[in-house]
Chains A and B, each alone.
Chain A
Amino acid sequence: MLGQVIASGLAMGCIYALVALGYAYVWNTMAIVNFAAGEFLTFAAYIFVATFTMSLGLPFWSSLLLTAAAMAALGALFSRLVFARLQRQRALVAIIATVGFGIFLKEMARIIYGPEPLLYVSPFGDDMLDFGGFRLSVQQLLIMVVVVVVMAAQYFVLRYSMIGKIMRATALDRETAALMGIPVNAVLAGTFAFSAVLAALAGILLAPLFYVTTEMGSLVGLKGFVAMIIGGFGSVPGAIVGGVLLGVIENVGAFAISSTYKDAIAFTMLLVFLVVRPEGLIPERSADRA
């Protein structure tokens, strides 16, 4: 039974890790927290389930790709239209704009898709797979595989590709990056689009586990933020470790104490970390922010 609890904690932790990674990317390049991340997740789940799967009847993978593309476009658009205008202001102004954009997305989902929760049944069924006593549902396995692939891909892109290098350069020193002829605003829009895609993946992967509602992303968005703080603010490996750890501990804690306290356990973890290790488990080296 405990194996089961850990498995579902791992799966949920992978979701938090996706959201946390989105926060870390946006924080590193723009020095703001995108508080619309949870609502990006909600909106993505709706267009994936209601539009691409139910209305258009598309298969899973095409729906996933179309949803990712739509959310990337939305993220880039938000960055270009709103953030680009606010970046000369204090960071707080841009951060509040993300809160506002989140409310906008949530209400748009309600207006477009209605207030009724949607039920999405995973096309992969609910079979359990046995890994030597450690049992995983197909959906949980899918979540882990997608997250591992995304994490590996982002690592290699960031480390070795020209896009990754100009992203890191832009994150370190926007002004000097611009001096090298790097299209800084496009890099920022791309980063925001990528974080929107991460949230979209989280929404798509969560859809079969919960009902799709306008509230589904709010708590996950907050917990992704908690995961980033636990891992180390703005740290990419920290986001991954923090997410997985948060998922497992809240699930095991809920199992040991009571599932009523699941969310309380997650936020207690935040408080404990803020007191004991505020820099997080894998802090971003201070040299990174010159």
Chain B
Amino acid sequence: MLTIAPSEPPELELSQVDVFYGKAQILIDLSIHVERGEVAAIIGANGAGKSTTLNLIIGKLKPSKGTVTFAGEPIAGRAIDKVVAGGIACVPQRRRIFSTLTVMENLEVGAYVRRHDKGGISATLDEVFELFPVLKRKAADMGGVLSGGEQQALAIGRGLMAGPRLLLLDEPSMGLSPKLTTEMFASIRKIAEGGRTVVIVEQNAYAALGVADYGYVLEGGSIALEGHADELLRDDHVRDAYLGA
């Protein structure tokens, strides 16, 4: 008897997806494939469809064509709360900290979908505080008084509190100094090494590809180029268009 071990389905797969906003087509025949534990970067200019891609994955938008699967299960069209409870969290662009909630309350609200799992929440809280010690020091401060870097750390921590297997990050470098950006991406790498899959959407191609395993270049709503991150970093087109080299 021969048994064939079933191969693990990809953690995230977008297959030939079209997305429209009204009559405008934002994503055109987009396909993305992310393996478990991988860091994938989606780079591209403003308006290329990067945030739309994340909004599609998290369930804010529905594709008019194509499929979205997470761990082999189709998730396109599911409500956001189901998607988040199912193991995907999204760290939104511009951080969107709840300004008059304390740091701790921001984290607690992030854990809403698994509010009954006290053990899991407390383990993740330890992990978040280890990753970003500043959040522990400022746990009682209002979210709105934190600096930009601290707010980005809080936004990521809040995303982790939902206990995701897949973490989506929308422009984590926005508004951060180069030094803070480097630190932030080092933390993101650590998150992936903890066993999570990470998808980063970034205009800062250099920073994102620096920590990613695999990258996609999004142009006009479709994938212009894809490859291993180090290959993309050496690619002439990527260097000209996105790295300013």
Q: What A residues does B115 contact at CB under 8 A?
A: 162
| Docked-complex contact B81 and A181, CB < 8 angstroms | yes
Q: What A residues does B162 contact at CB under 8 A?
A: 180-181
Q: What A residues does B110 contact at CB under 8 A?
A: 180
CA A169 to CA B104, docked complex, whole Å: 13
| Docked-complex contact B113 and A172, CB < 8 angstroms | no
CB distance from A190 to the nearest CB of B (A): 14
Q: What A residues does B81 contact at CB under 8 A?
A: 178, 181-183
| Docked-complex contact A179 and B58, CB < 8 angstroms | yes
* Chain A minimum-CB-distance residue to B58: A179
| Docked-complex contact B98 and A162, CB < 8 angstroms | no
A287 part of interface (Cβ distance < 8 Å): yes
| Docked-complex contact A179 and B99, CB < 8 angstroms | no
| Docked-complex contact B80 and A165, CB < 8 angstroms | no
Q: What A residues does B98 contact at CB under 8 A?
A: 168-169, 172-173, 176
Within 8 A of B (CB), among A159-199: 162, 165-166, 168-169, 172-173, 175-183
With A162-B115, A287-B144 known as contacts, the answer to whether A180 contacts B100 (CB < 8 A) is no
B105 part of interface (Cβ distance < 8 Å): yes
Q: What's the interface size class on B, roughly? A: 20 to 34
B101 part of interface (Cβ distance < 8 Å): yes
B85 part of interface (Cβ distance < 8 Å): yes
* Chain A minimum-CB-distance residue to B81: A181
B156 part of interface (Cβ distance < 8 Å): no
Q: What B residues does A169 contact at CB under 8 A?
A: 98, 101, 109
* Chain A minimum-CB-distance residue to B155: A176
CA A179 to CA B109, docked complex, whole Å: 11
A290 part of interface (Cβ distance < 8 Å): yes
| Docked-complex contact B113 and A180, CB < 8 angstroms | yes
| Docked-complex contact B101 and A168, CB < 8 angstroms | yes
Q: What A residues does B142 contact at CB under 8 A?
A: 287
Q: What A residues does B158 contact at CB under 8 A?
A: 180
Q: What's the interface size class on A, roughly? A: 20 to 34
Q: Is the interface of A mostly helix, strand, loop or mixed?
A: helix
| Docked-complex contact A168 and B100, CB < 8 angstroms | yes
What 0/1 readout, one digit per residue, does chain B (102-136) give for beta carbons within 8 Å of chain A? 00010011101101000000000000000000000
Q: What B residues does A172 contact at CB under 8 A?
A: 98-101
CA A290 to CA B94, docked complex, whole Å: 12
CA A100 to CA B85, docked complex, whole Å: 38
A85 part of interface (Cβ distance < 8 Å): no
CB distance from A258 to the nearest CB of B (A): 44
B90 part of interface (Cβ distance < 8 Å): yes
| Docked-complex contact A181 and B100, CB < 8 angstroms | no
| Docked-complex contact A166 and B109, CB < 8 angstroms | yes
Q: What B residues does A179 contact at CB under 8 A?
A: 58, 60, 80, 84, 90, 92, 96
Q: What B residues does A126 contact at CB under 8 A?
A: none
CA A165 to CA B106, docked complex, whole Å: 9
Contact partner, B112, options A166, A173, A285, Cβ 8 Å: A166
Q: What A residues does B113 contact at CB under 8 A?
A: 180-181
Q: What B residues does A176 contact at CB under 8 A?
A: 92, 96, 98
CB distance from A238 to the nearest CB of B (A): 15
Within 8 A of A (CB), among B66-108: 80-81, 83-85, 90, 92, 96, 98-101, 105, 108
A263 part of interface (Cβ distance < 8 Å): no
| Docked-complex contact B108 and A165, CB < 8 angstroms | yes
* Chain A minimum-CB-distance residue to B145: A287
CA A288 to CA B98, docked complex, whole Å: 9
CA A90 to CA B139, docked complex, whole Å: 37
* Chain A minimum-CB-distance residue to B100: A288
Q: What B residues does A177 contact at CB under 8 A?
A: 109
| Docked-complex contact B109 and A180, CB < 8 angstroms | yes
Beyond known contacts A162-B112, A168-B98: 20 more, CB 8 A cutoff? A162-B108, A165-B109, A166-B112, A168-B101, A172-B98, A172-B99, A172-B101, A173-B96, A173-B98, A176-B92, A176-B96, A177-B109, A179-B60, A179-B84, A179-B96, A180-B84, A180-B109, A180-B113, A181-B112, A182-B109
What are 16 A-B pairs at a CB distance below 8 A? A162-B115, A165-B101, A165-B105, A165-B108, A169-B101, A172-B100, A176-B96, A179-B60, A179-B90, A180-B113, A180-B162, A181-B81, A181-B112, A182-B109, A287-B142, A288-B100
Q: What is B's interface to A at a CB cutoff of 8 Å?
A: 58, 60, 80-81, 83-85, 90, 92, 96, 98-101, 105, 108-110, 112-113, 115, 142, 144, 158, 162
Q: What is A's interface to B at a CB cutoff of 8 Å?
A: 162, 165-166, 168-169, 172-173, 175-183, 285, 287-288, 290
